[in-house]
Amino acid sequence: MVFSGCAERSVDNVIRVDVDADATAEIVPRVEVSKVIALAGDVPVGEVRKTIARGGRYYLLSKTDNAIVCFDGDGGFVFRIAADGRGPQEYSGLTNFFIDETDGELKVLAMNGDIVSFSPDDGRFVGRESTGYMMLNDGFAIDDRMTALSIMGPEWNVEIRRAGVAEFHLPFNEMRDFVISKKMFARHGREVFHVYGQDDNIYVLPSEAGAEPRVAYAVDFGPARVAPELYADGSGAAVMGRQEAADFASKIDDLGVTRDHVAFSYLFFGVDGSMATRNVIYDRRGGVAYNFLRGDFYLLPVADAFDGGFFSVVHPVRILDADAAVGSGAAQIPDVTRALQAAGVVEDDNPVVVHWKLK
């Protein structure tokens, strides 16, 4: 079932996204695949937490082994950074990574708050910085002068840096990180979007000190919405207590933004004690939010926007299992299936990169 909405609604330039957490969507016929790239199996890639496309290459965070694996635009293996440890050129746990356009370095964010830098060309060690923060959750290159770091408190949520030096901060005002975020930032044009605040909004980052984050999209989960005041005690106890009485949705992540679409994931907590990741694609052209249960649509979550559409990194087993499941909402995206068959890809092979958009 596809649930529908009215034309795009906005108040003070804030676009409301109504999500029915109980509905599922079928949009496979609208998927237009432009490219499928099978990644070489020289080095096995485990659970992919994040992927960055830059300079004709793909950089994957393989959380299974706390490594960054780089492939070229044809899927050929280039290098692997596997430096999890306590040495001077190693990182102690890997929470996330980004490529800093201010200095061109690939920066690994460590569990202890350190930033360990490597070359995005060959993976060699460049340097390290101790930030003094408890943990860094994500990072993003705003432009070639400024970067943003997502911080797990206790004082700040976001640090904005200019040429590597902290210029201003956004205050910490919530405790809703039930799990570490994978992709809290996204870009479209000159605007950088971020999940920030005591509500279910998607914000545009400010570009100067003293400015407030601007709400771009206000996500409303309807009956599954959590009232912001339940986060006020800072412990999350009131929010989790709600699960005893009703389902609820929270924790927007995996952002991707194009001109026509916004993609994100969220956590759904069932009254039965269950927790699952669900995904949404909001279509600005019709003002409709499409909700997907986990596994309904294997191209979600998206890795990022690319050339007006999205690209996704998918393990072959998800695709081949979906093809075999009669009636599955994820079944039969013919262009993807044919590409895997032509390349001889089997279930246990490395992920494939799929470039796609909605017609």
pTM value?
A: 0.90
Domain assignment present for residue 325? The answer is yes
Q: Do 334 and 226 have their domain in common?
A: yes
Q: Do 209 and 335 have their domain in common?
A: yes
Q: Do 212 and 269 have their domain in common?
A: yes
Cβ neighbors of 161 (< 8 A, separation 6 or more) are: 102, 146, 147, 148, 149, 167
**Cα–Cα distance between 300 and 332 in angstroms, integer?**
15
Q: Do 283 and 201 have their domain in common?
A: yes
Q: What pLDDT score was predicted for residue 236?
A: 67
Q: What pLDDT score was predicted for residue 326?
A: 44
Domain assignment present for residue 184? The answer is no
Q: Do 200 and 69 have their domain in common?
A: no
Residue type, position 257, single letter: V
pLDDT tens column, 35-45: 999 999 999 99
Q: Do 217 and 78 have their domain in common?
A: no
The helix/strand/coil state of 89 is coil
Instruction: Write down the mean pLDDT value for the chain.
Output: 86
Task: Please work out, in degrees rounded to the nearest 5, the angle formed at the alpha carbon of residue 340 by the alpha carbons of 334 and 344.
Answer: 145
Q: Do 79 and 158 have their domain in common?
A: yes
Domain assignment present for residue 80? The answer is yes
Q: Do 90 and 136 have their domain in common?
A: yes
Distance of CA 172 to the CA centre of its chain: 21
Distance of CA 130 to the CA centre of its chain: 25
The residue segments making up the domain with residue 12 are: 1-38+190-359
The helix/strand/coil state of 119 is coil
pLDDT tens column, 95-124: 999 999 999 999 999 988 999 999 999 999
Q: Do 212 and 354 have their domain in common?
A: yes
* pLDDT bucket at 233, cuts 50 / 70 / 90: low
Q: Do 29 and 51 have their domain in common?
A: no
What's the structural domain count of the chain? 2
Q: Per-residue pLDDT for 3 more than 50?
A: no
Q: Do 151 and 219 have their domain in common?
A: no
Looking at the DSSP bridge assignments, the partners of residue 353 are 37, 313
Q: Do 99 and 212 have their domain in common?
A: no
The domain spanning residue 135 has which CATH number? 2.40.128.630
The helix/strand/coil state of 222 is helix
Q: What pLDDT score was predicted for residue 7?
A: 39
- Say which residue the tokens 């191209």 belong to: 299
* pLDDT bucket at 231, cuts 50 / 70 / 90: confident
* pLDDT bucket at 49, cuts 50 / 70 / 90: very high
- Answer whether 98's CB lies under 8 Å from 115's CB: no
